[in-house]
Structure 1
Amino acid sequence: MVFIGKWQITGFLNFQFDVTNGQRTTSDVALVGGGSYPQPGEISLAHNGVLFLDELPEFKRSVLEVMRQPLEDREVTISRARFTITYPSSFMLVASMNPSPSGFFNDPNSPMSSSPMEMQRYMGKISGPLLDRIDIHIEVTPVPFEKLSEERKGEASEVIRERVIKAREIQTERFKESEILHYNAQMNTKQIRLYCKLDQEALNLLKKAMERLSLSARAYDRILKVARTIADLSKQKDILPNHIAEAIQYRSLDREGWLG
């Protein structure tokens, strides 16, 4: 799985691995900052950049949970007896994980499989509130040999880059009156209601998805922001039903069937 948020790449986070218990040994202090004399943690060092977490379920749950507030507020506050300090932490979180403990989830050709209990335990390492704060969940399926060996080239990175730049220009124009708002991911609930208006067909589609997938209010806002960005990439002024449908598909971990 790959979870995605913003654009600029300026930094990555390195972790040690404890071979005795099979867990990442990074502490919550190392991640968010702190100590007797508070220092910024990795999420502040990744400000305006990228924080990449590999093998997400291998981190201690307590370490992952401390990211919830910085992901929401884009800053982290550390309080001590004599003072309080706030560090900026507006970063793009990119995380990856195997789809199951064996790594062969839903692969009919694999001799290894995971039971529903194993899957529950594995996925339980990542809390629902943390997943709610991640805009996009993408399932990356195995690439067959035919695809690996074919010579047909896909869309060039330069073309994709130009499309992204134009979408960012649209967002810059949209938020030109604001000093603190620059792109869609920064919108709060009030701004989402203003810039992400839906017609009745798109609204009905989103309503069905909310009811069927039991999505939270936070997931609802995330879908609207992603749909707004998809519309910008398509140079569409309004969010159309197909933009909502695509944004819903980018929440793989909210869909049924992930636990076998």
Structure 2
Amino acid sequence: MPETPTRPLVVAVDGPSGSGKSSVSRAVASRLGLAYLDTGAMYRAATWWCLDQGVALVDGDAVAAAVRAMPLVMGVDPKAPGVHVGGTDVAEPIRTTEISAAVSAVATNLEVRDELRRLQRAAIDAERSDGGFSGGRGIVAEGRDITTVVAPGADARLLLTASEEARLARRALEIHGQAGVAQVEATRDQVLRRDSDDATVSSFHVAADGVATVDSSALSFEQTVDAVLAVIEQVTADR
């Protein structure tokens, strides 16, 4: 496992839906004593907020204005990364099928992406200082655009990928508790259709220059975590 960083360490992880980037990133952050930022949850929270405020998701300008006014508070403790909008805990509501089906309409809004990228950069910068959750140790941030747009200068940039079959099975197990034929089919839309929608505004299937690829198709969860840690260890050894 990589040694404790002596200066802030920023790790950026991207990848398609169901690749395991959220759970793996949380585990990596926890092992290294770093903060954790789930940027996908920010888009889900924005979707929840717009629906809660009665904003029509087809009205791009209204959606962007609502998101700019959203009182979002992202928890960055990898062991308990809460998500609050105003005084409401939305960690569970944003994982509903309703939000999963609607989030792409918000996530492909370019003005929304600009606003949330600003918040993401601010969260990353906060963990470079002693006043952040990590006490200046750093952060693992995962989600769309992280390796190329939000944090292209991150110390370690990784694309975590997996085969379509593996990703569908994992998401089915996560949502339905089993990965039979019916459960896999039930998750196909929110995994593959959402990736197709998001791919219109973001690139996350092929690693950009300088971004390491970890294919977890044949790896267990722990093996995937170890593979990501190995990439980070190489980075920390070189700097």
Q: Which has the larger radius of gyration?
A: 1
TM-score over 0.5 (shorter chain): no
- Output the TM-score relative to the length of structure 1: 0.29
**Hey, which of these two has a bigger chunk of helix by percent?**
2
